[in-house]
Structure 1
Amino acid sequence: MAASIGIMDSAYFVGRNEILTWINDRLHLNLSRVEEAASGAVQCQMLDMTFPGVVPMHKVNFDAKNEYDMIQNYKVLQDVFNKLQITKPLEINRLVKGRPLDNLEFLQWLKRFCDSTNGGIMNENYNPVERRSKGGRERSVKGSNKMPKSLQTNNTPPNSSSVGLTKASGPKPANTAQVQALSKELTDLKLSYDHLGKERDFYFSKLRDVELLCQTPELEDLPIVVAVKKILYATDANESALEDAQEYLNQSLGVKAEVEENGEQEDY
């Protein structure tokens, strides 16, 4: 699926403002430029939200500023790609340069991939701030003002009552197996829908051909054609029109046979 997103796909016509809104809303960040995501950390967390538990967030450095640290993030991302069997090549040398167009194109692809995986539905049980904090490597990322105070007490002693309240009241972690099962079910439903659509179009074209044939002037008054049209144009969805068509056909053929028989008798 990832490899099928070509350069002319509609995904690559999504503007940078929409991309930034998508990132900031889901990860509780406040990025103002796409090149601020050049470190690869944002991409890692987007996949962590889409596939909970797949990304080792403790290895992701949100404070990466130099190319070496950025490359380490992209190595984590490449490992995740391999786990998920994503074949899209990572052009790391271009992305770490922070060029807006390269990073925009990659984020456009990422948005399309994530949306196609979960239907664009956010994982409501996912807490992006907590996931970054647990990694212990978030320092200078532009966080939004939505960060709850309870999440800012990670350095308090383990037996602190505030930590206990945070764990008790915080959102429960997503069940990875359940999310993956639902994602697979959604994919299967989409495939089934596409198959049914093709099957519907196939049989509709057949019925249309039969209808056009029945409308041929030389044929439309024949008893068999009239009987077929009774079936085609029946409006009662709860009852079959076959019995009515057969009755009409039998009557028509019976009358015709009787007329022919009478004609032969007159000849004698």
Structure 2
Amino acid sequence: MATNIGMMDSAYFVGRNELLTWINDRLQLNLSRVEEAASGAVQCQMLDMTFPGVVPMHKVNFDAKNEYDMIQNYKVLQDVFNKLKITKPLEINRLVKGRPLDNLEFLQWLKRFCDSINGGIMNENYNPVERRSKGGKERSVKGSNKMPKSLQTNNNHPPPNSSSAGLSKATGAKPAKAAEVQALSKELADLKLSVDLLEKERDFYFSKLRDVEILCQTPEVENIPIVGAVKKILYATDANESALEDAQEFLNQSIGVEVKGEGNGEEEEEEEEEEGEKTQA
């Protein structure tokens, strides 16, 4: 069982679009961002699909919104990890914050792990919607495939008059001009291209940050002051706007720059005074 997947494994170069497609296809969801999986419910059900009967799905809260409820889901996930002897550390405090990079990395690992078990083949006998249900009542899952309102209306068998009225309204609506449709289509295509480019750029810089982090964790250099300063920047919280200042202060204290700098300043002042006296003389 491939539980220990190295940070340089190809798994960590899988893009968010591929991950979202993987999740949505298998669990019949419609997630648009990796942060939407921060509650841990998606991860629990993905393991439930890979290892049927191992995950107590009745304990998984798909409606989790606050950190407390999310942590309960991760406790269920940790219990499953223990049963399956999975040694992957769960950094729960970082995952429940909904930070994109943390959740992206964990989902990349999860996909690589599940693919190593089932070879990337989806379990056709697994009904994700039914497994998410509790006591026969479907639970509200963000992004789940719900019946469109139009179909719900049709299933309620509305009176013929209402259908006729709707048809007459649709017939009476003016068709959009071809030029407007073409302009909107072009704008949509441009936006999709921009999104793809931005995602590629984010993935590129994320891989660079991972390389820097791996380098900083090398035993031979991890205790060097400059490495400690870099770590302060890497692991700073989103709310910490002075990460660079903190890193510089840490570096200065580590190598004694402040003390040395103060001494040099006094010497420079003395030299300037001596030059001034010579000039006056």
Tell me which residue corresponds to 2:39.
39
Distance between the aligned counterparts of 1:32 and 1:76, measured in 2?
25
Distance between the aligned counterparts of 1:122 and 1:54, measured in 2?
17
Tell whether 2:139 aligns with 1:142. no
Q: Which runs of 5+ in 1 are unaligned?
A: 150-268
Deviations 1:70-113 (A, max 9, x none): 00000000000000000001000000000000000000000000
**RMSD of aligned C-alpha atoms?**
1.8
Q: Secondary structure at the match of 1:134?
A: coil
Cα deviation, residue 134, structure 1: 3.3
Tell me which residue corresponds to 1:199.
none
8 A contact 1:49–1:123 mirrored in 2: yes
Tell whether 2:86 aligns with 1:94. no
Cα deviation, residue 140, structure 1: 4.1
Distance between the aligned counterparts of 1:93 and 1:2, measured in 2?
24
8 A contact 2:39–2:64 mirrored in 1: yes
Tell me which residue corresponds to 1:115.
115
Distance between the aligned counterparts of 2:10 and 2:147, measured in 1?
32
Larger radius of gyration: 1
Tell whether 2:18 aligns with 1:24. no
Cα deviation, residue 139, structure 1: 1.7
Tell me which residue corresponds to 1:77.
77
Q: Secondary structure at the match of 2:70?
A: helix
Normalising by structure 1, report the TM-score.
Answer: 0.53
Cα deviation, residue 144, structure 1: 2.0
Normalising by structure 2, report the TM-score.
Answer: 0.50
Cα deviation, residue 2, structure 1: 3.6
Task: Please list, as runs of the form range in 1=range in 2, the aligned pairs for 1:1-268 lying within 5 A after superposition.
Answer: 1-134=1-134, 138-145=139-146
Q: Secondary structure at the match of 2:133?
A: helix
Distance between the aligned counterparts of 2:138 and 2:3, measured in 1?
31
8 A contact 1:34–1:100 mirrored in 2: yes
Distance between the aligned counterparts of 2:72 and 2:2, measured in 1?
23
Cα deviation, residue 4, structure 1: 2.7
Identical-residue share of aligned pairs (%): 86
8 A contact 2:57–2:132 mirrored in 1: yes
Distance between the aligned counterparts of 1:71 and 1:2, measured in 2?
25
